[in-house]
Amino acid sequence: AGQLPETLNRIMPEAVTDVHRAYINAGADVISTNSFGANAVKLAPFGLDSESEVFLAVSLAKKAADEADRKIYVAADIGPTGKLMPPLGDFSFEEAVNVFKNQAKALAAADVDGFVIETMMDLQEARAALIAVRELYCDAPVMVTLTFDENQRTLTGVTPDAALITLQ
């Protein structure tokens, strides 16, 4: 409690690698790094920086991938910052792009095969993450997922159709 899941990369690296191995053994051809919250906004209160945290996350996933008897792809996992953009909050779109650029730059430097931008509740934050990744690494495969409620709306009221059109 009170810790980021990414801290497990440091305090229990073998357990994290075992989770990757379990996915591979279950038949996964793509595994995602334990870097969901490894952005400056979430890491700063813990005195951690994105570059070292994502490098460790990628290295653990690559360790499991390298042990496999077939090609396993490592996808960089990028999650939300936890901040809200206007009109609901004061986190600007430009700030979001820069936070995600720093995280994506570190993930790409660790040589990932693609990116998973996931569990976004705000379309603008998902868009900021996608722009950050695309501006730096336009050829890498990218998958984006958003969270919708029972009324098929994001937290900020966006429909799946509107999200698809915007992200395309």
Q: Give the whole-angstrom CA distance, residue 12 versus residue 47.
A: 19
**pLDDT at 138 (0 to 100):** 67
Q: What Cα–Cα distance (Å) separates residue 166 from each residue in 33, 127, 162?
A: 26, 8, 6
List alpha helices for 110-142, DSSP H: 123-136
In the chain, which stretches have pLDDT less than 50? none
- Do residues 144 and 120 touch, judged by C-beta distance below 8 A? yes
- Contact criterion met (CB below 8 Å) for 126 and 91: no
Closest CA to 80 of 114, 130, 142, 29: 130
- Could you tell me the pTM of the whole model? 0.93
